[in-house]
Structure 1
Amino acid sequence: MHESKVLERIRNNETACGVTLHLHDPSLFEMTASLDYDAIWLDLEHHSENGVHISELIRATRAGGQTDVIVRPGRGEFARMARLLEVGAHGIMYPGCTSVAEAEEVVRWAKFAPLGSRGFDGSNVDSNFMGRPMTEYLEWANANTFVIIQIEDIQTVELAHDIAKVDGVDMLMLGPADLSVRLGYPGQMDHPMVAEAQRRVVEAAQNAGKNWAITTRGPEHARQMSEAGAKLVFQGADVVFIKNALVNAIREFRQS
């Protein structure tokens, strides 16, 4: 299993670029990894997949290139996180965190001691199938896996500074869609209250010496966020790209 491409970018003071894949076909993951993306966001909060298929998707990504897979489990699925890492995920994106204690629990399940208390197995792909000595494997895993905590309600924005200080939390990320819904302005990602929440999350991360991630609306927005200090930008999703292409194709045909 390769070293984290996202963390390599960050250590070189560069911004990593990721894409969301909702269509869970292994060939799509393999193709995307061959296209120089730094990360693929695999969402299991809103999509149901069994462990075998998840393993196949991550394996296909490895076959395609050196792209990290960042998996978002459902909220509270703590025990699932170690298994996701063991089949080859580099990142855990935890949704809807509401407290410092919850962020600490995420770290306990995702990181080995001394950062957390993740259980040791060592027989899966993340340890090269028992190919790494135990001490080396533990150090490698903590250095090449990362935790992203998503903040998705205004009450938790108030706690962002304290959450960012949790040892083992690597990045903060606002969930603007859910936040806009909970604020009563669904879909208004540029609403002043959403923008202010984003500013406060970024400030919390920076004050704690942590990084921040963000979803973006396209290449220009991604560049702007990179220049603003984001170290991980997610630029689009497969369903959006495909739908836009299909809509444009049929529209052009009907107008011809």
Structure 2
Amino acid sequence: MFKRNRLLEMLERDEIPLGMQCFTGHPALIEVMGMTGFDFVMIDCEHSGNDVCAMESSVRAAQQAGLAPYIRVPDHADETAIRRALEAGAEGIFLPMIRSAADVRLAAKCAFFPPMGERGICPATRAARYAFRNFDQYTAWNNAEIALVPMIEHPDAVRDIDEICALEEVKIIVFGAGDLAYAMGEGTLMMKSPRVQEAYRAVLDSTSIS
């Protein structure tokens, strides 16, 4: 049996998930997070030194600790990174520097199996239970439960937010105030910037409607 995506379940119940970013790739830290009441962990592979082996170890530690494992890939268009994160057992992918709905569609092609996407199959992966489970059940679970999380951290994404939120593949979004502030010429002000606050309200309004 493949379990439901924990974050999606919580959001369907109008619960607020508690999560944290993890840059170290150290399983002990992830275990502590699970013991102290966190619901999910975002394992960073964009800015950290985590390689594929460290990422898989982090996913394994998260699942053992009762956390939903999410991976931030190095690039939203990196098919190999998206595929390997999901094959390791991630329940969702954080997509950095999204600029448009087209960017999300491209990532969806990498994340989902046909007919939803174009991802290649391999029953011998960890996520597919090393071929000890029915692979058709796994692909159906993947296409129903994997969450793509566009990171809204570029002015172009703010302008295209209605189209991004309208995509069937998008169930969660993240507002990235740091990169957005820099891209807008606001330096390190982040949410202290009135312009970033305005962008945040626009994104929030769009998600409320969607």
Fold match by TM threshold 0.5: yes
Answer whether contact 1:126 1:141 (CA < 8 A) is retained.
no
Q: Give 1:137's aligned residue.
A: 138
Change (3 A) 1:129 1:35: farther
Unaligned stretches of 5+ residues in structure 2: none
Q: Give 1:196's aligned residue.
A: 198
Q: Deviations over 1:197-218 (max 9, x none)?
A: 111112222333xxxxxxxxxx
Q: Give 1:176's aligned residue.
A: 177
Shift of 1:20: 1.2
Q: Give 1:46's aligned residue.
A: 47
Unaligned stretches of 5+ residues in structure 1: 209-256
Shift of 1:39: 0.7
Using the aligned pairs only, state the percent identity: 25
Answer whether contact 1:18 1:41 (CA < 8 A) is retained.
yes
Q: Give 1:124's aligned residue.
A: 125
Answer whether contact 1:30 1:62 (CA < 8 A) is retained.
no
Answer whether contact 2:152 2:174 (CA < 8 A) is retained.
yes
Answer whether contact 2:100 2:156 (CA < 8 A) is retained.
no
Q: Determine if the alignment matches structure 1 residue 6 to structure 2 residue 7.
A: yes
Report the AA paired with residue 199 of structure 1.
R
Answer whether contact 1:151 1:172 (CA < 8 A) is retained.
yes
Between 1 and 2, higher relative CO (CA 8 Å, sep ≥ 6) is seen in 1
* Cα RMSD after superposing both structures: 1.7
Q: Deviations over 1:48-86 (max 9, x none)?
A: 22211111111122222x211111111232221011011
Aligned length: 207
Mapped partners of 1:25, 1:33: distance in 2 = 13
Q: Name which one, 1 or 2, has greater alpha-carbon Rg.
A: 1
Of 185-194 and 104-113, deviating more is 185-194
Poorly superposed stretches of 4+, deviation over 6 Å: none
Change (3 A) 1:134 1:23: closer
Q: TM-score, normalised by structure 1?
A: 0.75
